[in-house]
Amino acid sequence: MNKERLTKTAVDRLSPTGVEYVTWCGKLSGFGCRVWPTGKKVFIIQFRVAGRLTKKTLGTFGTITVEQARKEAERYLAAAQLGHDLVADERKMKAELTVSQLCDEYIKLGMGQKKPSTIATDLGRIDAHIRPLLGKKRISSVARSDIERFLNDVAIGKTARDIRTKKGRSIVKGGKGTATRTVRLLGGIFTYAVDRGYIEKNPKSGVKLFKDNSGEKFLSDDEMQRLGKALNEAETKGLPWDTNSESSTKRRPKDKAEMYEVMSPHVTGAIRLLLLTGCRLREVLHLRWSEVDFEHGILNLPDSKTGQKKVYLSEGAIDVLQSLPRTGTFVIYGSRPDKPRADLKRPWKRICDRAGLNGVRLHDLRHTFASNAVSHGMSLPMIGALLGHRSTSTTARYAHIAESPLKRALDEMSQPMTKAISKSSATSD
């Protein structure tokens, strides 16, 4: 049993392991520090009042000091000795928070492990959908039926809008995909409330969501051939302008003899890299030459959606990288070599139109990479490693694709056995 006082020196010495653990103060019973596998250290208290065990998180080491946490712990533990549960009082008060107020607290305290891009998306969904539809409700009164109604309201576009602002236009879209992803976020916010004892049960539990991958697409061999042909045409001869369908004339040549748009090799190269590496769009657009290891065939990404990441390169991907003009810091740049290209929306639409790929998104190239890996016999854990998935459940969406190669492999494997035990074989002997 630990007899050491919990001090800054003692907390500094605590190292993360594969699982979370708690080190208790040897001088103040019920005061401890929980260490997460990520290295995060959180001060906690634990005590009993009238036989009921109560736990509370006091704060994160680094945000508050050990002595600040100890003072707070002493206040709660002293009241518990007198039979008064201050945590229960706080939770009762917190249960009267509105959903909007809970969102404010979640934004402040519950997003610490999320990436800035994810936080920005979450903030948009909170302000566009959650606050307008549920913001005024007390969290203790939110029921499963409210979440189901919220899901359907967002799906039918009840929160959709297109308004003018000082900065331009504010466009909010509804739809089943938006509804599903927003309810998942809402479930996470209520999980935060449950973890802190504000409410006993997550009202999102049991809500049946719309399928989030309904628009997910994998390019067929024929579609990839057409994409390749359009890419080659775009970077050599150029894509012809369709004067009937092009909505903008800003980039269209005035001379009819030059009614073809030749695209930058950085545009076509980026698209090829998306298909050949399975990378996310920003991982390719923000790639620096310093992160490309040609000798070992690896991209060393310092940051991605799932953190630091290694991307293994095929010979085809290496060839694409080596063919790109190397001018500035970034592999894929736009008008300035020292700045990464912002997006590929316009050129991708033109290339898709030329290739006849209606409704295909850039992110579908990542799905195509994964589906081809499955079809060529790679295991789901290997594919998850290539894609940088943090959870095996994310890779599991490709499991159904494995049925076809498994069936082929089964047929090939069983042919000798089938031949050996078939009736025709036995008769001929």
pLDDT at 111 over 80: yes
pLDDT at 167 over 70: no
pLDDT at 356 over 50: yes
Q: Which residue has the higher pLDDT, 134 or 172?
A: 134
pLDDT in the model for residue 247: 47
Q: Which fold has domain 99-195?
A: DNA polymerase; domain 1 (1.10.150)
pLDDT at 243 over 50: no
pLDDT at 427 over 90: no
Here the tokens at position 104 are 């404010």
pLDDT at 245 over 70: no
Beta bridge partners of 149: none
pLDDT at 123 over 90: yes
Q: Which residue has the higher pLDDT, 205 or 376?
A: 205
Give Cα 241 to chain centroid, integer Å. Answer: 36
Task: Bin 87: left if φ > 0, else alpha if -120 < ψ < 50, else beta.
Answer: alpha
Give Cα 281 to chain centroid, integer Å. Answer: 13
pLDDT digits (tens, 9 = 90+) for 190-212: 998 888 778 888 999 999 998 76
pLDDT in the model for residue 406: 55
CA distance 164 to 180: 27
This prediction has a pTM of 0.53
pLDDT digits (tens, 9 = 90+) for 265-312: 999 999 999 999 888 899 999 999 999 999 988 898 887 666 678 888
pLDDT in the model for residue 51: 86
Identical fold for domains 8-86 and 99-195, yes or no, is no
Residues 6+ positions from 305 with CB-CB distance below 8 Å: 115, 117, 118, 280, 388
Question: SS in 3 state form for 12-28?
Answer: HHCCCCCCCEEEECCCC
Q: Which residue has the higher pLDDT, 421 or 322?
A: 322
What CATH number matches the domain at 8-86, 3.40.30.10, 3.40.640.10, 3.30.160.390, 1.10.620.20? 3.30.160.390
Supply the DSSP symbol for 127. Answer: I
Is residue 244 very low, low, confident or very high in pLDDT (cuts 50, 70, 90)?
Answer: very low
Q: Which residue has the higher pLDDT, 249 or 45?
A: 45
DSSP-based three-state secondary structure for 105: helix
Q: Which of 277-281, 378-382, 402-406 has the highest mean pLDDT?
A: 277-281
Q: Which residue has the higher pLDDT, 214 or 421?
A: 421
Q: Which residue has the higher pLDDT, 307 or 258?
A: 307
Q: How far is it between the farthest Cα atoms of the chain?
A: 93
pLDDT in the model for residue 160: 86
pLDDT at 125 over 70: yes
Q: Which residue has the higher pLDDT, 409 or 279?
A: 279
pLDDT in the model for residue 249: 54
CA proximity to 314, closest of 267, 261, 264, 376 = 376
Domain segments of the chain as ranges: 8-86, 99-195, 221-403
Mean pLDDT of 177-196: 90
Per CATH, the homologous superfamily of domain 221-403 is Intergrase catalytic core (1.10.443.10)
Q: Which residue has the higher pLDDT, 288 or 169?
A: 288
Mean pLDDT of 247-258: 56
